[in-house]
Amino acid sequence: MSTDPIRVLLADDHPVVRAGLRAVLETEPGIEVVAEAATAEDAVARATASDVDVVVMDLQFGRGRMSGAAATAAITARPGAPHVVIVTTYGTDADTLPAIEAGATGYLLKDAPPEELAAAIRTAASGRTTLAPAVADRLVHRLRAPGTSLTGREVEVLGLVAEGLSNHRIAQRLHLTEGTVKSHLARIYSKLGVDSRTAAVASATELGYIRR
């Protein structure tokens, strides 16, 4: 078994959060924080270095244009890329589904105990997955009822509907045709058993797909 430490990149736009994560991880044997990034763009750039094994990634960055999920996709797309563990305050399907589809190996909430973070990093470094219990429960529920489960793209569309965007604006934002947006909405209505945008948003909010 290798005795080399697991080398970690911390990606969060809050210096206090990064300092807190660093303080926790520096007490853990076999884990070494080698770098920090304040934006998702910086995290993607820094993760290309060969000295990073695991990226601890926030989902929402106040600076820059890229989200944590987009950064995760960019990082994990490269051969031999580091594994990504999402650590965030957001636990709804609107957050978890895009992140997991982007290639995140782990997903924890920021109220998780420090030992869970360290365990998730070790698990990720070995190529296995760790999910917060609440996230895992919802994913299992979705898998057991696939007919009612929204895809990541459908969640994205519905999130923009909740922001009040028209089909035309949604199509522009997601680089889709309006016809494709309408098709997504038709499937969303069918899955949720609703017949309007307002009802779809209300149902999706209740089910935890989107935040309001």
Q: How far is CA 54 from CA 82, 143, 152, 181, in A?
A: 5, 28, 24, 36
- pLDDT above 80 (res 96): no
Domain ranges in the chain are 6-141, 147-207
Task: Please provide the DSSP assignment of 16-73 as one string.
Answer: HHHHHHHHHHTTSTTEEEEEEESSHHHHHHHHTSTT-SEEEE-S--SSSS--HHHHHH
Query: 6-141 belongs to which homologous superfamily?
Result: Response regulator (3.40.50.2300)
Fold observed for domain 147-207: Arc Repressor Mutant, subunit A (1.10.10)
pLDDT at 137 over 70: no
Angle at 205 between CA 202 and CA 208, to 5 degrees: 150
In angstroms, the Cα distances linking 35 to 56, 104, 202 are 11, 19, 41
* pLDDT tens, residue by residue, 147-173: 567 888 888 899 899 999 999 999 998
Cβ pair 193, 179 in contact under 8 A:
no
> Which residue, 115, 111, 82, is CA-closest to 8?
82
Fold: same for 6-141 and 147-207: no
Q: Taking the model in full, what pTM does it have?
A: 0.68
Q: What residues form DSSP beta bridges with 87?
A: 108
For 100-132, write each residue's pLDDT tens digit. 888 888 888 888 888 889 999 999 998 888 887
CB–CB of 72/57 below 8 Å?
yes
